Chain A
Amino acid sequence: MMHIIKADFKKISYLQGYRNVLLATAVLSILFGMTFLFTTNVTTGKSLSDLSWIEIMDITLLGIDVTTIMFIIFTAYFIANEFASGTIYTSLAITPLRQKYFLCKLLFIAKISILSSIILTCALIFIAYVMITMNNIDGMIWNSALMIKLFGVIIMPMFYSLLSLAGTFYTQTASGGIAFALAVMFTPALIKMFPANVSDVILPIFPEHALHVFTEIHSSVDTGLWLNASVILLLWIAITSILSYWRFNKSDF
């Protein structure tokens, strides 16, 4: 199984298209993070030096939202290319066990998205940290609350990439994967427009809410809340993966 994942990494090193998308992901994520940081006057009405260190972190780390969207696209194209180009014939000839093939792709996407998001999160934190020190904002502490926030930020691109993967395997098209992941991502924004008694019930089911449980800095430790959120996220991945695997497994090529 390691060989197949290794071959996928090799594919990225061979193909300029994939390398460019990854490069663009890095550049755009940092660029957006910095843009958000330097436009606080417009967006929040406060200048940088008036913000707390938590707010500066939050704003800079919005760059990871860009990473997430880019990874949704990358994943969909990476997976769908096999179906579109017909290389699935060769891949399945090498790995005829469909569950093994599916699992290898899932692990590859998980690996590359988490690696990229760790690197980019570090870069963004560094930028935020520089801003915090330059503006003499104090009170910053590397406590466990911050660590949990960073955990939430780091897993977000991977989470939506895996949804994109599921959507792509299910529809066997890149557009299907992208549409599905983005729909899951943005539906909560629509639901928020419903009356509170409706949205309060539906929203917690969506991953956005669960991810927020991690990314928001809480003053107190609430393990139950985190556990709940983890279950929601894992269920999303499990159910969508199983459905798309089932569809993929019964497909003829």
Chain B
Amino acid sequence: MLKLVNLTKQYGDKIAVNRLSLTLQPGVVTGFLGPNGSGKSTTMKMIISLVHPTAGEVIIDGKRYHELTEPTKNIGTLIDPSAINHNLTARQHLALISTAANMDTSRINQMLDMTGLKMVENKKVKSYSLGMKQRLGVATALMSDPDVVILDEPFNGLDVDGIKWLRGLFKQLANSGKTVIVSSHLMGEIQAVADRVVIIGQGKLLADMTMKEMNQKSLSTYVYVETNHLKKMKKLLQDNLANVQELEKGLEVRNLTAKEVGILAYKHQLTLFELKTVQPTLEELFTEITAGKVDYVSRGDEIT
């Protein structure tokens, strides 16, 4: 189990991470969200002792990271996909890691296969695209088959196939009982894969809840609809178990897709002026959160 206790980092007079306390459970994919400069990377670096906390601590199975005998067996990390010697090939890079950490070399082939780098394993990393480097970074993090996997913005630079692959991989890792922590500054990247979402802003914990809770609150994707008969539409949608909020000119609908809303309107002969799926940006979330509309910090132990 991974526990952050009052974790704080101060650079000069800038507080990068501010009294962050979290417990991260196995079998769960946790999305770690926050805008640029909110302290995501700093938090991740503090977990593996790359950055010394100003206050607070990180406890991994009862120990600090540097007290673990084989730390990479506990935690595998991807901090920066470009932080690789660019004159090495993927295979050489993984071979060096397996030598240094005294790992089983058979994992090298397994990882190259899994990340789809087999074809380019003997090409130098400098010829890799960002997406390929991300894949190699993921391979590095998973080399020692760690219990906890921490990846800093792993979706950056990945194409559609890559994103799909990575999401599948996270699900698979979580299902096999691993703790998966994935950071991002884009809600959309996380929404499809995370079971739990932690949002930080200016180093402070702003929200911590399960995806389910989040969907019930107002943070999730919704359908926006404008029609000639707003009241009637609202009733209709609510009868169909939608969660509806009335706005100035239209309705904010959750639990139903745009298609379902369209069909309902058609069946009841309502005229639609506008029908669209809206994905709130992280910025909108922040305004909402900081405006204090909802209490977004729930008990972290609701996920098992």
Contacts and interface: CB of A to CB of B under 8 A. Distances in A.
Interface of A: 3-4, 6-7, 10-11, 14-17, 81, 85-97, 250, 252-253
A90 B49 contact: no
Interface residues of B, number: 31
B76 to A, nearest CB: 8
B45 A253 contact: yes
A11 B66 contact: no
Contact of B87 (A15, A89, A90, A253): A15
Contacts of B66: 96-97
A14 B75 CA distance: 27
Contacts of A91: 100
Given A14-B92, A14-B96, A87 B72 contact: no
Given A3-B102, A90-B83, 11 more contacts: A10-B99, A17-B87, A81-B85, A86-B84, A88-B83, A89-B80, A93-B72, A93-B77, A94-B72, A253-B50, A253-B51
A11 B96 contact: yes
Contacts of B80: 86, 89
Interface in B24-53: 45, 48-52
Given A4-B100, A6-B99, A92 B50 contact: yes
B50 A86 contact: no
B61 to A, nearest CB: 15
A95 B84 CA distance: 16
Given A252-B50, A253-B45, A94 B85 contact: no
9 contacts: A7-B99, A10-B99, A15-B88, A16-B87, A90-B83, A90-B84, A93-B72, A96-B49, A252-B52
Interface string B48-75: 1111100000000000011010011001
B140 to A, nearest CB: 6
List of 3 A-B pairs having minimum Cβ-Cβ separation, nearest first: A86-B83, A7-B100, A96-B66
Contacts of B84: 85-87, 90
A253 B95 CA distance: 24
A10 B88 CA distance: 11
A95 to B, nearest CB: 7
B214 interface: no
